[in-house]
């Protein structure tokens, strides 16, 4: 095969490696494709396999980090078997399991869970727990500081109204706060309590569930949901 042919095959190797077509990668490697061919995305060796599975690009990216970012469970397993480091971090300090969770790939997270030391900030070290935590962190990052400030101001108005037993005004204020920051479980918990005071058990349960989705291991969230369910069972005809 001439140099042009090797270059074309090497480019294919890079593309198929990134895309996760393992059998095609194996075939190209068996044909003697140049794993050191340098393209815009780096060498095929960096993306697929080779002597050093922990080789890093200029931005500290490793093949395992790339595979996790793509949610490629099969490639992740191959790289782990070859000695890839599950504790390598990207430029933002995220490990492969966090990137896989951000991708929403359960299979990729499952492949990495057993070989990754527990991250203390993640409340539940399970496939669902990691994915839920990463997704909630992403949602929080989307709320601007200005929105958080306005949400806090609206919450303060709601707290004050609740203390005065002005429940309708409190609900309105908490709703405004939620519109500014829908990632704050406390706001849903507070509004759920207001709905209970108003005898509106269906929205109380809905807010309690929203709170639990945001803070699944918060005792108050569990209490709010349990209270709403208990009252609904006692008063099935409640509006």
pLDDT for 22-73, tens place per residue?
A: 555 555 456 555 555 544 444 554 444 444 667 676 666 788 888 888 888 8
- Residue 113's pLDDT is 94
Among 123, 141, 159, identify where a domain stops: 141
Residue 59 and residue 130 in one domain: yes
Residue 137 and residue 154 in one domain: no
Q: Is 113 helix (H, G, I), strand (E, B) or coil?
A: helix
Residue 99 and residue 149 in one domain: no
- Residue 48's pLDDT is 47
Residue 63 and residue 160 in one domain: no
- Using CA atoms, how far residue 13 sits from 35, 48, 69, 147, in Å, is 8, 8, 19, 46
Residue 99 and residue 44 in one domain: yes
Residue 109 and residue 159 in one domain: no
- Considering only 79-83, 154-158, 200-204, which range has the smallest mean pLDDT? 79-83
Residue 111 and residue 94 in one domain: yes
Distance between CA atoms of residues 174 and 211, nearest Å:
13
CATH number at residue 58: 1.25.40.20
- Using CA atoms, how far residue 178 sits from 55, 183, 187, in Å, is 45, 8, 6
- Residue 10's pLDDT is 42
- Considering only 29-43, 69-83, 126-140, which range has the smallest mean pLDDT? 29-43
Residue 111 and residue 199 in one domain: no
- Considering only 1-10, 165-174, 176-185, which range has the smallest mean pLDDT? 1-10
Domain count of the fold of the chain: 2
- Considering only 10-19, 113-122, 130-139, 193-202, which range has the smallest mean pLDDT? 10-19
What average pLDDT does the chain have?
A: 79
Give ∠ CA 219-220-223 in degrees, rounded to 5: 90
- Comparing CA positions, the residue from 135, 138, 75 lying closest to residue 107 is 75
- The H or E element spanning position 170 is helix 167-180
The 8 Å CB, 24+ separation contacts for 141-146 are 142/183, 143/180, 143/181, 143/182, 143/183
- Residue 65's pLDDT is 87
Residue 129 and residue 50 in one domain: yes
* DSSP one-letter string for 18-72: HHT-HHHHHHHHHTT--TT--BTTB-HHHHS-SS-TT---TTS--HHHHHHHHT-
- Residue 83's pLDDT is 81
Residue 32 and residue 131 in one domain: yes
- Using CA atoms, how far residue 95 sits from 76, 101, 141, 146, 196, in Å, is 13, 10, 18, 30, 42
Q: Is residue 165 predicted with pLDDT exceeding 90? A: yes
- Using CA atoms, how far residue 94 sits from 64, 65, 68, 87, 208, in Å, is 12, 9, 11, 9, 31
Distance between CA atoms of residues 100 and 37, nearest Å:
28
Asked if residue 239 is part of any domain, the answer here is no
- Residue 40's pLDDT is 40
What would the pLDDT profile of 94-126 be if each residue is shown by its tens digit? Answer: 899 999 998 889 999 999 999 999 988 787 899
- Residue 6's pLDDT is 38
Phi, psi of 162 (to 5 degrees): -65, -40
20, 21, 27, 32 alpha-carbon torsion, rounded to 10°: -40
Distance between CA atoms of residues 146 and 133, nearest Å:
23
Residue 97 and residue 111 in one domain: yes
Q: Is 235 helix (H, G, I), strand (E, B) or coil?
A: coil
Distance between CA atoms of residues 47 and 75, nearest Å:
10
- Considering only 16-30, 143-157, 171-185, 202-216, which range has the smallest mean pLDDT? 16-30
Number of H helices, E strands in the chain: 13, 0
Host domain of residue 163: 145-234
Residue 131 and residue 172 in one domain: no
């Amino acid at each position: 095969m001439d140099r042009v042919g090797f270059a074309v095959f090497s480019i294919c190797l890079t593309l198929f490696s990134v895309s996760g077509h393992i059998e095609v990668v194996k075939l190209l490697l068996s044909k003697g494709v140049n794993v050191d061919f340098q393209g815009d995305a780096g060498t095929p060796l960096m993306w697929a396999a080779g002597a050093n599975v922990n080789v890093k690009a200029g931005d500290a990216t490793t093949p395992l980090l790339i595979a996790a970012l793509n949610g490629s469970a099969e490639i992740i397993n191959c790289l782990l078997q070859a000695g890839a480091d599950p504790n390598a971090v990207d430029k933002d300090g995220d490990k492969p399991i966090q990137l896989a969770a951000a991708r929403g790939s359960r299979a990729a997270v499952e492949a990495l869970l057993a070989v990754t030391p527990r991250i203390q900030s993640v409340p539940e070290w399970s496939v669902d727990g990691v994915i839920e935590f990463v997704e909630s962190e992403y949602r929080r990052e989307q709320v601007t500081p200005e929105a958080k400030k306005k949400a806090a101001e609206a919450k303060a108005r709601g707290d004050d109204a609740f203390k005065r037993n002005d429940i309708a005004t409190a609900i309105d204020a908490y709703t405004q706060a939620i519109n500014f920051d829908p990632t704050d479980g406390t706001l849903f918990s507070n509004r759920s309590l207001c709905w209970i005071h108003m005898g509106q058990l269906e929205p109380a349960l809905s807010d309690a569930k929203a709170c639990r989705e945001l803070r699944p291991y918060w005792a108050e969230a569990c209490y709010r949901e349990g209270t709403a369910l208990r009252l609904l069972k006692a008063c099935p005809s409640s509006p």
